[in-house]
Amino acid sequence: MRPDILNPLFAEISLFKGIGPALARPLERLGLARAVDVAFHLPVSWVDRHLTDRLDMADAGRVVGIELTPVDYRASGSARAPFRVDMVDRYGNHVALVYFGKNSGWPRKLLPLNEPKYISGKLEAYGDTLQIVHPDVLAPDEANTLPARESVYGLSEGLTNNRMRDIVAQALSRAPELPEWIEPSLLARKDWPAWREALARVHADPSDAMARARLAYDEIFAGQLALMLVRQSSRRRRGVPIQGDGRLRAMLKLPFAPTGAQRRAFGEIEGDMAQGTPMLRLLQGDVGSGKTLVALMALLNAVEAGMQGAMLAPTEILARQHYETLRKMASGLPVEIAILTGRDKGKVREATLMGLADGSIDILVGTHAIFQEAVQYKALGLAVIDEQHRFGVAQRMMLASKAERSPHLLVMTATPIPRTLTLTYYGEMEVSRLDEMPPGRQPIQTLVMAASRLDEVVEALARHVEGGGQAYWVCPLVEESETSDQAAAEMRAETLRERFGNRVGLVHGRMKGPDKDAAMAAFAANRTQILVATTVIEVGVDVPNSSLIIIEGADRFGLAQLHQLRGRVGRGDKPSTCLLLRGNALGETSRARLALMRETNDGFRIAEEDLKLRGAGEVLGTRQSGEAALKVASPEHVAALVDSARDDAHLLIERDGGLDSARGQAARVCLYLFEKDAAVGLLRGG
């Protein structure tokens, strides 16, 4: 249960003063529903108020603070034109205060003629007159209550910065003093303020780095603590020691020898699985590094020991592909592999459920349907999660609680994230890295082109297809919305069909499952040669004959995502090309990022550089990160603070595993503040 002290922060802001239905949409778009959301909606920048007493000395374009006197009203003829109040400074310079959509009674009352007021707002040149739209109005003797620095917030249509500041002020007024959870000596060393003060300080002065660092630390600490609790609770659970005898693995007929990295990773997994505490291991390996084989070996290890294995994929497409791959690799082995996704209904589903319950199915592949309530395993020994970044810690925990004896857990990710982020998101896990590629990989040449040269791109595509090749065409992320992605993809498919007819296939996230499968299957079988897609093809999809990938709007993707997309090619026996189409006006950072893509194919390097290049924002990208987005902490904060947060969390758990001490209780508050409720639930009697 959330501690009472946090209740005011979790109140809905629809209860705030002055939040009418008109603000509901813009606030929702920003993800602001409760006071706590607003409290952590930290300002993104600031403007310094230009304090002056003469309009003719003030700069248009800046926020000014100035004493002015109303001398006239200019009601407008039409209802839609604004109401204006003519103001003068004490030297006789004029400025108009402009009120849109207000009835004129309100500004008239606020600004009685000939009564001096202290006015603050953005001074704008409008033709050859000056104006300030919807200013702050104070009594002259209140002028000093206005901070010299004005915070600027992330906004959305229909929400002004002034409104936002007002909403923030209301949220802050509800923010309680909270008990201190930071280790006292660390707090002293950093000279950080207490939580509430830090929050108020950042809102008042966005440049207050020290206060911001404290809030960032809190968030990172909560994350680390939550991961430790997951780890602690999983350590407490009993698992089943699994030691296969190797007979199934010996039967595998592979056309290649495992790489050293694959052997090493598998050795580590085998070692973990032999233990009585459940394995929690992350297998990190760049696209194409051969994670599937490692997974299969681990699954067979479980089956040899009479247990079952399950493999979870983030999408239907990937689940089907894994299913096919595993069956192919394991063909000739006495191993029953089945698939279960949300689309399997009726008799087929019943039969699969039966097979799982009676143990006749050894390995189940599927989407998260495979861990639903109704799915009962006879003896689940190992769960493999592919492309973990789609799943959150909470889902990992749900998995772990599935069996009385917890299954061993292997998480695989192709997102080569930097070490600091690995700690942040997978801190509870051991890590194996596949840092060696299978031999004989064909190089991928990466080119960056302006989107305005689309005709040339289409010509290159035509030559490629005429030569027997296949290609992906990835459509840009128009907005963070699947609908617009879909529209972009549909339009692109249409224009390409004018040229290439039915050689063009289309797949996007909103298509019905069977249609998606059909489109993928047609492409895999080379019945279509060009596959127009949204990022649903991002992870895992494997069509070796496709050696060209064209990515539209490449500057809008995260680098890790681009790298993943690029990994769709370079899988066959032909050299491959990745064409990154960029917008025409590119900022310096975007330019540097695309140049980096051109320069290197090393996923870990890309991830490290991306972290450096993007001042803010996250390397994981919201699209692929599930819960991963941090609200407060920047990547720089993470890099600087994750180690001490981890140590601190570790020490606290070591001394006070139940979080019962005074500081433990405070740490609980911190966990709830960052909504790690599930982690607190793992505490004994928590």
Specify the DSSP class assigned to residue 239. B
Tokens of 664: 């433990």
Q: Which is nearer to Mg ion, 227 or 296 (CB)?
A: 296
Phi then psi for residue 611, to 5 deg, are -60, -40
- Shortest distance (Å) from residue 384 CB to Mg ion: 11
Q: Which stretch binds ligand ADP (CB under 6 A): 103-111, 212-220, 252-260, 520-528?
A: 252-260
Nearest distance from C-beta of residue 438 to ligand ADP, angstroms: 3
Element (H, E) at 384: strand 380-386
Which string of x and - marks every residue 504-543 that binds ligand ADP (by CB under 6 A)? --------------------------------------x-
DSSP state of 12: B
Q: Are 604 and 413 in contact (CB under 8 A)?
A: no
Under a CB-based contact definition with an 8 Å cutoff, are residues 658 and 684 in contact? Answer: yes
Cα–Cα dist 560/647, whole Å? 28
CB contact at 8 A, 595 and 465 = no
With CB under 5 to 8 Å by kind, the binding choice for 288 among Mg ion, ligand ADP, none is: ligand ADP
Of 120, 161, 234, 259, the one binding ligand ADP by CB under 6 A: 259
Q: Decide: 361 and 310 in contact? Cβ < 8 Å.
A: no
Please report the DSSP string for 56-97 in residue order: GGSPTTSEEEEEEEEEEEE--SSSSSPEEEEEE-TTS-EEEE
Q: Which is nearer to Mg ion, 295 or 581 (CB)?
A: 295
Site size for ligand ADP, by CB under 6 A?
15
- Residue 256 in contact with ligand ADP, rule: CB under 6 A: yes
Among Mg ion, ligand ADP, none, what binds residue 300 when CB lies within 5 to 8 Å by partner kind?
A: none
Taking CB atoms, the residue at the shortest distance from Mg ion is: 540
259 binds, among ligand ADP, Mg ion, none (CB under 5 to 8 A by kind): ligand ADP
Query: By the 8 A CB rule, do 242 and 305 touch?
Result: yes
Count Cβ neighbours within 10 Å for each residue of 429-443 and write b for 16 or more, e otherwise: beebbbbbbbeeeee
Q: Which stretch binds Mg ion (CB under 5 A): 32-40, 417-425, 505-513, 537-545?
A: 537-545
Q: Measured between alpha carbons, how far is 489 from 486 in angstroms, rounded to an integer? A: 5
Whichever of 547 and 634 has its CB closer to ligand ADP, that residue is: 547
Closer CB to ligand ADP, 211 or 297, in the complex:
297
Q: Are 295 and 412 in contact (CB under 8 A)?
A: yes
Site for Mg ion contains 540 (CB under 5 A): yes
Give 540 or 621: the residue with its C-beta nearer to Mg ion: 540
- Kindly identify the residues of this chain, within the stretch 263-322, that bind ligand ADP according to CB under 6 A: 285, 287-293
Nearer to Mg ion, 107 or 540 (CB): 540
Q: What string marks each residue from 385 to 424 as x (binds ligand ADP by CB under 6 A) or -?
A: -----------------------------x----------
State the nearest-atom distance from the C-beta of 508 to ligand ADP, in Å. 22
427 binds, among ligand ADP, Mg ion, none (CB under 5 to 8 A by kind): none
Interaction between residue 625 and ligand ADP (CB under 6 A): no
Which amino acid appears at position 315 of this protein? T
126 binds, among Mg ion, ligand ADP, none (CB under 5 to 8 A by kind): none
Minimum distance, C-beta of residue 17 to ligand ADP, in the bound complex (Å)? 53
CB-neighbour burial class of residue 22 (10 A; exposed 0-12, middle 13-18, buried 19+): exposed
- The residue count of the chain comes to 686
What does 542 interact with, of Mg ion, ligand ADP, none (CB < 5 to 8 A by kind)?
Answer: ligand ADP
Nearer residue to ligand ADP within complex by CB, 337 or 652: 337
- Contact yes or no for 193/218 (Cβ under 8 A): no
Residues in the interface with Mg ion (CB under 5 A) total 1
Residue 404: both structure tokens together: 């009385």
Binding mask 202-241 for ligand ADP (x = CB under 6 A): ----------------------------------------
Provide the residue type at 134 as one letter: H
| Minimum gap (Å) between residue 349 Cβ and Mg ion | 26
E strand or H helix at 187, and its extent? helix 184-190
Residue with tokens 């705030």: 16
Is 380 exposed, middle or buried (CB count within 10 Å of its CB: 0-12, 13-18, 19+)?
Answer: buried
The interface partner of residue 256, options being ligand ADP, Mg ion, none and the CB cut-off 5 to 8 Å by kind, is ligand ADP
Residue 600 beta carbon to ligand ADP: minimum distance, rounded to whole angstroms: 18
Report the residue number, 416 or 635, with the smaller CB distance to ligand ADP.
416
Q: How far is the CB of 437 from ligand ADP (least distance, A)?
A: 9
What is the DSSP code (8-state) at residue 600? -
Strands 530-533 and 470-474: parallel
Nearer Cβ to Mg ion (82/540) = 540
Residue ranges in 227-246 that form contacts with Mg ion under rule CB under 5 A: none
Return the residues of window 639-668 that contact Mg ion according to CB under 5 A: none
Q: Please choose, from the candidates 291, 290, 265, 269, the residue with its C-alpha nearest in 3D space to the C-alpha of residue 280.
A: 269
Cβ atoms of 409 and 233 closer than 8 Å: no
3 state DSSP class of 610: helix
Of 110, 66, 112, nearest to 90 by C-alpha is 66
CB 501, CB 471: distance < 8 Å: no
Q: Are strands 576-582 and 129-133 parallel, antiparallel or unpaired?
A: unpaired
Nearer to ligand ADP, 170 or 526 (CB): 526
Task: Please state, in angstroms and rounded to a whole number, the distance separating the CA atoms of residues 613 and 216.
Answer: 20
Q: How far is the CB of 563 from ligand ADP (least distance, A)?
A: 12
Q: How far is the CB of 292 from Mg ion (least distance, A)?
A: 5
131 binds, among Mg ion, ligand ADP, none (CB under 5 to 8 A by kind): none
The binding site for Mg ion (CB under 5 A) comprises 540
Contact positions vs ligand ADP (CB under 6 A)? 256, 258-259, 262, 285, 287-293, 414, 438, 542
